[in-house]
Structure 1
Amino acid sequence: MSIADVVRAYHRGIEQGDWGLVDECLADSFVFSGPTVQPLNKRALISSMKALWAAFPDIGFNLRIVQEQANQVKGVVNITGTHTGTLIPPFPDRFMTVAPTGKKISLVDEPCTYLLEGNQIIRQEVEPRRDGGWPGIFRQLGLEYPYPLPDS
């Protein structure tokens, strides 16, 4: 299995709600940085993705691999989905729920870099975009995002 295949499997696991597959793809030392309030460890990332999948069960990341070399994969994701489930954003300092709206989302392209050790992802970095990630989801659902927005 190539390192790009590991990244594809990781995203496929999230899209299908296959949390065992997601767990296999991520190292215990995994760190996610990007359009989140703070970096996420493996457990927090999986929790965040479960919340996203519960609210958008048809979620698609539409991953495009741009470059694969040594232990690094660069790609672009474009998150799409329909808000048919209750959204409970995994914010560290507040609790909120958003009832299903039926709205479709299609976020901007978000460049991602994945670092791997063997057949596991140890780090995922997503370039924050004003209309990507949680800020983009909130905007497309017609909600105010409760944190400062990225510059780009």
Structure 2
Amino acid sequence: MLAAVQLALQEHVAPKIDDQWAQSALRSVEVILNHLQARVPVEGAMLHEDSRELVVLLTAARDRLSHDDPALATFLAEAPDLIDGYARVDALQALNHKGREAVDALLHACHARKGEAVADAVHADLRAWLLKHADRESGFFFPTYVGRPV
């Protein structure tokens, strides 16, 4: 459906637009449609995998640091039930956001304990996950926002 909308805009709308601002707006719409075409088919599975990884990572980090934080507790309380069953993408997005808040809280805790072997090791694990996550999401952005439309 997204590809059909994009094709209709390119073939029927774009040729009739002479105004430069309107052309710019249409290019922005194309970028958004490209992004959605890349993201929609894989977002649910990616969020599910992300959340599963976060449960393991954050549980280990909490235990190793003996750190208790509301964001961490909330994520770890909600995540297992949600990821063990069928979850809607919006629910996975909300859970993933909570997981990222917990990552942020743990990063702050690691920085407060910088130099301690355990905190430095947890920091390295969190950083590795963030890099993996950024690499996983890069597919949503590079074909979309760099170069010609896909």
What is the TM-score normalised by the length of structure 1?
Answer: 0.26
Structure having the larger proportion of residues in strand? 1
Which structure has the higher relative contact order (CA within 8 Å, separation 6+)?
Answer: 2
What is the TM-score normalised by the length of structure 2?
Answer: 0.26
Greater Cα radius of gyration, structure 1 or 2: 2
